[in-house]
Structure 1
Amino acid sequence: MPQSTRLSSPVKTRDGVTILDIDNYAPFLLNAVSSAWQRKTAAIYRDRFGLGIVEWRIIAMLNIEPGITANRICAVIRLDKAAASRTLKVLDNGGYLRFEADEADARKKRWWLSEKGLTTHDTLLDIALECEAAMIGDIEPAEYETFLKVMRAMLGNLSE
């Protein structure tokens, strides 16, 4: 079984059968943290704004890179095109966005946050940062920096 150099194995034996040790299996832990994060934050975003995680991710991306296209959003936040299209439509209908269509192809649009979108972004950002602070509260700064470095490396490995 291929493995990189590691301290703990992602498999163990129970009653002579090899099983996955989810406490030492990075994909499980990444997914578990992501799911827990999404449940916690999505509840707040839905209660206060009627928006979900995907809406927040797109709002954040539009604030980072105003005038972005849907294809660029998908590439940066790793979102499928159908989800991006649906979410942009919801946000546009809700008054959070404005856009300019390409003169040659009206389907190609560049997106910006409207005033409502910018205000909502600032409030959601405060909530997201509060939730992040609670999630990482007892982690030493050096450990957190190592975690971020490892996460970036993993993402890079998956992008190749």
Structure 2
Amino acid sequence: MSEVAAGSPTVSESAVRRHAAPAGAVTEPLDDVLEPDGFTPRLLALLSNALVWRESHELRRRFGLGTNDWRVISAVATRPGTSATEVSDFLGVNKAVVSKSVNALVERGMLLLSDGPRGSRPMYLSEEGAEMHHRMRPISLRGQEIILEGVADDEVDRFNALLRDMLERIRADAG
């Protein structure tokens, strides 16, 4: 391991000199920052992002579809005849995200739309869509297996109950 010679700049000092901060910039960490490794919302977001990235990468590689497409397929598999608006509410995602996936899945023949106004048309999986659901499902389940490895079933049940309670509280606070 090499030592920094007396008077030699450290890596961060060198970086600051190469990239001088603009006038008025705060260059020292604030005293009242959130502790990154103890801030639960950050940890949940990091976990969610890692799961989504892993799943999306594998779904795109194997099927040419992404996580949002899988979520729509899964939602319609769970609730045949549901509308895009209902899927958006169920998934907690923007309607535009659902609309994009619905259009892609209809084009690929995996989703069938019944008559009705845009956004409220009942949606159903085609036979091809049902088959795709069966092929994509293990990839999603693998993410659950990874995060719950070594956790007892009763702890999983309690954890899921806690997560549902947290979701209810955040929705109540937002509404």
Structure 2 residues without counterparts, runs of 5 or longer: 1-28
Alignment match, 1:73: 87
Alignment match, 1:156: 168
By how many angstroms is 1:21 displaced? 1.0
Q: How does 1:70-109 map to 2 (within 5 A)?
A: 70-102=84-116, 105=117, 108-109=120-121
Instruction: Determine if contact 2:76/2:123 at 8 Å carries over to the other structure.
Output: yes
Q: For 2:127 and 2:30, locate their aligned partners in 1 and report how far apart those are by CA, in whole Å.
A: 62
By how many angstroms is 1:138 displaced? 2.0
By how many angstroms is 1:146 displaced? 2.2
Alignment match, 2:63: 49
The equivalent position to 1:37 in structure 2, one of 31, 48, 51, is: 51
Deviating above 4 A after TM superposition, structure 1's stretches of 4 or more consecutive aligned residues are none
Q: How does 1:102-117 map to 2 (within 5 A)?
A: 102=116, 105=117, 108-117=120-129
The equivalent position to 1:142 in structure 2, one of 141, 147, 154, is: 154
Instruction: Determine if contact 1:66/1:111 at 8 Å carries over to the other structure.
Output: yes
The equivalent position to 1:64 in structure 2, one of 78, 81, 94, is: 78
Distance 1:16 1:96, change over 3 A: closer
Structure 1 residues without counterparts, runs of 5 or longer: 1-14
Instruction: Determine if contact 2:83/2:119 at 8 Å carries over to the other structure.
Output: no
The equivalent position to 1:125 in structure 2, one of 114, 137, 159, is: 137
Amino acid at match of 2:161: K
By how many angstroms is 1:18 displaced? 2.0
Amino acid at match of 2:103: K
For this pair of structures, how many residues does the alignment match?
A: 145
Amino acid at match of 2:42: F
Give the TM-score, by structure 1 length.
0.83
CA RMSD of superposed structures (Å): 1.9
Give the SS at the match of 1:18: coil
Hey, which of these two has a bigger chunk of strand by percent? 1
Amino acid at match of 1:98: L
Identity %: 26
Distance 1:17 1:63, change over 3 A: same
Instruction: Determine if contact 1:23/1:29 at 8 Å carries over to the other structure.
Output: yes
Q: For 1:140 and 1:21, locate their aligned partners in 2 and report how far apart those are by CA, in whole Å.
A: 29
Alignment match, 1:26: 40
Amino acid at match of 1:109: R
